[in-house]
Structure 1
Amino acid sequence: MSETSHMPADPEKAGPERPRLQLHTGQRVEEPTPRNVWDIEYDREVWRLRELGIRARIAHILFDRIPQPWLKDLAKRWARWRLSTGLGAESAASGTRAITHFAQFLASPAVRVVRLDQVDRPLLERYLAHLHADYAGRVVHRNFMGQLNLFFLAIRQHRWNDTLPASTVFFPEDFPRYDERLPRALSEPVMTQLEQPSNLDRWKTPAYRLVTLILMRCGLRITDTVRLPHDCIVHDADSAPYLRYLNHKMKREALVPIDEELEREIRDHQRHLRDRWPHGTPVLFPRSLKNADGHEPTDDNVYRRAMHQWLKACDVRDEHGRLVKVTPHQFRHTLGTRLINRDVPQEVVRRILDHDSHMMTAHYARLSDTTIRRHWEQARKVDVTGQTVALDPEGPLAEASWAKQRLGRVTQALPNGFCGLPVQKSCPHANACLTCPMFVTTPEFLPQHRQQRQQLLQIVSAAEARGQLRVVEMNQQALGSLDRIITALEEDEAPGGAEVADAG
């Protein structure tokens, strides 16, 4: 028998190292040449992310509805580059959808753009009108514009096509007005129900109960939670525990402090994992089915569906008796709001939530009205004569008084107190507010009062030396007011005086 007689009938099937492809029919065939998987998928109209080794909530990225070959190739280059930098598949697919919508506009009979050099600023202005007609400022409107801007920027940066006009760009003024929304924190009555041990024990899957605890207490995003590494707990020099995780949105590792109780829950869960996977698992929440080696993490959509069933079993209702609808991300909003309302500094909250921008954390600070009001109610308030201003927090005018004080802070902010004058009236005093009977201040402004008093003393002394009696007279009245205010407020600093919380 010849040596070649041992060869398989189909030489393309020789060798187990040949890459395999999954067809849409479910049949598996051998790839004829050992090409790179990216080369194989790149030529397809529909990219199969699993073939690229990408596990995501979406399975495909679609290019089949981009009719222009030149635009389709640029879209593929952009998507491949973004995925290779570690960008999430959902974000890459979002960019492709934006290009697809733009491509349909370019191919319409009224436009008929056939080359990249025709995509100029006047064309974009026509597309702006087209977007407004289709989406009228909705989130997808801004998203399509933002993704296209990134696409144009990448073309220029990488010199993929030098014919793109320099004027092809969306300006900030082009974007529709963004309706800034406050964080959707859950109310305390709802959170009290969700945090009850009896309700937490209603989870049929213990792992999902732990996921819920981490969402509530650490404020992680659900995607980051289900992908936690098995070895996710670290300790500082004082042996305090921290949860270590990968912030996929910011592409960096982050730490969040946890309490000893949550650490015990995680340790118990790790021991249960070793019972099923004695050799260990790389993830803390491995998928329960079709996961022999324990390497596949739980899908966040599977948890969302289980969470929906858990909420129904707990019969959690809001203050109006209605069944609540909760998303995993609302636990993050709730934690941020709670921290701000408990006087945790905004920078600390930013680090706990691992925000990249202070502006993101500032959304939670806007919800701290209860914190500011509590300080206002607790602080001793005196007027320009040094007399105490009473405000009953439970009285019938409490809400109205608080609203007026808030308006005073916003519309008549002063360096050393607040104006108690109704905002409908104009101030009849040409002098500083220290001579105004509507002026109100608290101990938190004592440093400013002392500094201003020192400055007034210097002014009065200099005016007396120059014989400027009018200047002395004008400032003596303010100086007398400051002396009375400081004397009254310093009583709180004396031993036995009332302790006033620092509003800063």
Structure 2
Amino acid sequence: MSITQRAAVTAEHLVEEFATLGAPSRAGVSRGAARAFYARFGTTDAWQWAPLAEQLDAQSRCGRFVTWLIVTGRLRPSADYLLACKGRLAPIGDEVHPELSAQFALTAEQLGFAPVIARRQWSALLHISALTATAPTRLSAEHIGDALAQFRAAGERLGRPDLRNMSANVFGLQAVLFHLGVLDSLPARGNGRDGRRAADWARISEHAPELAATITSYLEQMSVRLRPNSVTAIDSSLRIFAGYLLHEHPDVRRVADVRRDHVQGYKTWLAARPGNRGSQLANQTVRGRLSALITFFARLDELAIDDAPPRSPIGRNDLPIKEHPLPRFIDDAAAAKLLTATRADPDPFTRTAVELLARTGMRSGELLGLTTDAVVQIGSAFWLRVPLGKLHTDRYVPLHPQLKELLDHWLTHRGEVARTNLLFIEKGRRITPSRLATALQSVANEAGIGHVHPHQLRHTLATQAINRGMSLEAIAALLGHKSLSMTLVYARIADRAVAEEYFAVSEKVEALYDQPRQLPADAEGSEMAKLRREAHRRMLGNGYCARPVELDCHFESICEACTFFVTTIEFRPTLQRQRDDAEAKGQKKRQQIFDGLLNRLDEPAS
């Protein structure tokens, strides 16, 4: 049999196979469309190589047959054709893949997608499958990304650059495919930063390949021990520095070429850069960028990276002085309004998430990382297991019965989704921080209290707790702090005992206006003295000292005797009093320590 004869047999076989598709009453129409295709193009290869205009012109006579060939994988269309013809692959896809179509629709419905949206997702799946010549059940995230890139390029060529609807359908499609078991991970909505990051490194690599290679090697080492978000922050800092060198000092091609003057210029340039919410970058942002550089240069030798300058061109003295702003919290009246608006909100996620943040002090990332088994019962009480978060620790926090009821209601609303144990999901996808922030701001607006950020609820709970007598140790455990120094910042905000002491002492201060006498310098109320003693004992690293302040201690001068102890002339009066106290008590060794410190202060500065 000749090639022509074999092609004719194949064509006739396809005509008859297509004629059996759908209702028997349509068999004649189907044969007519298929034969019209072969009469015009002769073979499928001829259609494949035909100009786009000719392919589109054949749509009216044989478009259904072409669609069937595309869905069954016998034709591989271009992205231009799929966009231009506005072909509806879904009906043919239902007939070619009936079981997959039914499973897809059911899963999409279970995830909460409207039927019309699920239909568009099914059509997008068939388009991507056709464009990548891959069966729908064998698609990967790479296939989907490649197809989207081709569609965007085709949109530019055809004058249809806005394909946001297609991107949205594909994003939802990926969630459905994950829960069907086709994809291995839930989709993450991109913000364009990955593309910008890749473009920046490509530009740096083109002009300074050794510089880019050294930084890339360092980032690979850091990725072994740090969380992805931390590595991303370091990547951003080093990429910005490399971009500055590329623009301002094009002669720098390697890390070994970086000198002190380069860093000094970079500091000035960085400090003048505009930030997202103001005219300049925040102090903490500048410190973070420069700290990443300090660590980078310091660890080059440790990681055995040869491309390194003779000495580090940057040190800790290059960091701007760290600011210590007080945590921004919501006062009690505003917090009450916020929770009232939250409990009245119709959105179950808003009601659950905002109240959890306000009453447990969780970070937003910890909240969104909760799993369906996070609630545990210990004895008669319920506890919430907070997952590993910012400080690489997990913890249990007590769960109020009202919060337990909210979580039970959310689990019912969430439904059974077999392939993920994340507690907070919507339409099969992990809820994003921006969705949480939007939900919180919505109820804040309803309450009329202005802008509120999720982390402010953490500060608010800590402030409310410390002002109502909760110990610093308990607050540190609740918030997951590693050290009390992190918790002590809340003691600076509005301590109730400080307020009581202030009003008690203020009466004595007011007397100064009536009588020509001064308030004694040692005027101190009982509660203030108690606070001072508690603050002193908390400074011990692994416990606290129960010694009454009236008793002597052989180690009370242990810090002054340390070789690392440093003092200055401003402390001379205190040192003199301590020296005199030791002499009065007959503590010769303690007296010698303070004599030495005082003598050292009298020596001229070298």
Within 2, Cα distance between the matches of 1:205 and 1:149? Answer: 46
Alpha-carbon offset, residue 200 of structure 1 = 2.3
Alpha-carbon offset, residue 138 of structure 1 = 3.1
2:466–2:495 contact (8 Å) kept in structure 1: no
Within 2, Cα distance between the matches of 1:297 and 1:136? Answer: 31
Within 2, Cα distance between the matches of 1:402 and 1:332? Answer: 41
Task: Give me the identity figure in percent.
Answer: 19
Q: 1:340 is matched with which residue?
A: 466
- CA 1:27–1:356 in structure 2 vs 1: closer, same or farther (change >3 Å)? farther
Matched, 1:20 2:143: yes
Q: 2:412 is matched with which residue?
A: 271
Higher helix share: 2
Within 1, Cα distance between the matches of 2:350 and 2:475? Answer: 26
Within 2, Cα distance between the matches of 1:100 and 1:421? Answer: 60
1:215–1:222 contact (8 Å) kept in structure 2: yes
Alpha-carbon offset, residue 371 of structure 1 = 2.7
- CA 1:309–1:169 in structure 2 vs 1: closer, same or farther (change >3 Å)? same
**1:72 corresponds to which letter in structure 2?**
A
Q: 1:284 is matched with which residue?
A: 423
Q: 1:495 is matched with which residue?
A: none
Within 1, Cα distance between the matches of 2:318 and 2:469? Answer: 39
Q: 2:199 is matched with which residue?
A: 64
Greater Cα radius of gyration, structure 1 or 2: 2
1:71-110 paired onto structure 2 within 5 Å = 71-83=211-223, 85=225, 87-89=227-229, 91-109=230-248
Match among 212, 235, 253 for residue 377 of structure 2: 235
Matched, 1:187 2:331: yes
Match among 341, 366, 388 for residue 224 of structure 1: 366
1:413-492 paired onto structure 2 within 5 Å = 422=519, 448=548, 451=551
Q: Deviations over 1:382-420 (max 9, x none)?
A: xxxxxxxxx769xxx54956999xxxxxxxxxxxxxxx9
1:8–1:14 contact (8 Å) kept in structure 2: no
RMSD: 4.2
**2:380 corresponds to which letter in structure 1?**
S
Q: Show structure 1 runs of 5+ residues with no match.
A: 29-49, 318-323, 378-390, 405-419, 428-432, 453-473, 476-504
1:234 is paired with a residue whose SS is: strand
Q: Deviations over 1:41-73 (max 9, x none)?
A: xxxxxxxxx999684774543042342222223
1:151-300 paired onto structure 2 within 5 Å = 151-159=296-304, 161-165=305-309, 167-168=311-312, 170-196=314-340, 199-236=341-378, 238-273=379-414, 276-277=415-416, 279=418, 281-287=420-426, 289=427, 291=428, 296-300=429-433
- CA 1:9–1:79 in structure 2 vs 1: closer, same or farther (change >3 Å)? farther
- CA 1:229–1:449 in structure 2 vs 1: closer, same or farther (change >3 Å)? closer
Alpha-carbon offset, residue 219 of structure 1 = 0.6
Q: 2:31 is matched with which residue?
A: none
Q: 1:303 is matched with which residue?
A: 436
1:373–1:402 contact (8 Å) kept in structure 2: no
Q: Deviations over 1:146-199 (max 9, x none)?
A: 22233334544433x313025225322210012211010111110121223xx2
- CA 1:26–1:184 in structure 2 vs 1: closer, same or farther (change >3 Å)? same
**1:170 corresponds to which letter in structure 2?**
I
**2:423 corresponds to which letter in structure 1?**
L
1:137–1:177 contact (8 Å) kept in structure 2: no
Q: Deviations over 1:276-315 (max 9, x none)?
A: 327585121111x3x2xxxx2211211222322222233x
Q: Show structure 2 runs of 5+ residues with no match.
A: 4-9, 11-72, 77-131, 152-173, 175-182, 274-279, 534-545, 553-583, 586-606
Q: Deviations over 1:317-354 (max 9, x none)?
A: 4xxxxxx2111110000111112212222122111111
Alpha-carbon offset, residue 261 of structure 1 = 2.2
**1:73 corresponds to which letter in structure 2?**
A
Within 1, Cα distance between the matches of 2:224 and 2:364? Answer: 23
Within 1, Cα distance between the matches of 2:334 and 2:432? Answer: 26
Within 2, Cα distance between the matches of 1:358 and 1:74? Answer: 39
Match among 251, 269, 272 for residue 112 of structure 1: 251
2:508–2:519 contact (8 Å) kept in structure 1: no
Alpha-carbon offset, residue 224 of structure 1 = 1.6
Within 2, Cα distance between the matches of 1:403 and 1:170? Answer: 53
Within 1, Cα distance between the matches of 2:323 and 2:266? Answer: 22
Within 2, Cα distance between the matches of 1:17 and 1:206? Answer: 34
Q: 2:158 is matched with which residue?
A: none
